[in-house]
Amino acid sequence: MKNKRNNKKLIYLAILIVVIAAVIGFFAYQKSEQNYQKAIQSELPDKCATPPGYTDEQWKEHMSHHPDMYEGCL
């Protein structure tokens, strides 16, 4: 009898952990989506131009990591 109660407690605990993980994942996804949209909106009109905070060399290195996005710039 006691073993069945412990099994039920473990099942409820597992369900609680899954629900908490799902809620955390949902909010983390929303936050990352907001950050992505913010980054996209802050892009310069000329994607090849060196943005503030980068040297020309640093920006060229960054662009080389994303050849599909900056193929006309390299």
Query: How far, CA to CA in Å, does 50 sit from each of 7, 36, 38, 64, 70?
Result: 60, 20, 19, 13, 12
Enumerate the domain spans of the chain.
Answer: 1-42, 44-74
Residue 33 pLDDT: 80
pLDDT at 3: 80
Q: CA–CA separation, 9 vs 15, rounded Å?
A: 10
First to last CA, the chain: 71
pTM for the predicted model, two decimal places:
0.46
Residues in the chain: 74
Q: How far is CA 32 from the centre of its chain?
A: 5
Predicted confidence pLDDT, tens digits, the chain (74 residues): 678 888 999 999 999 999 999 999 988 887 888 777 777 776 788 889 998 889 999 999 999 999 998 889 98
Supply the pLDDT for residue 67.
Answer: 92
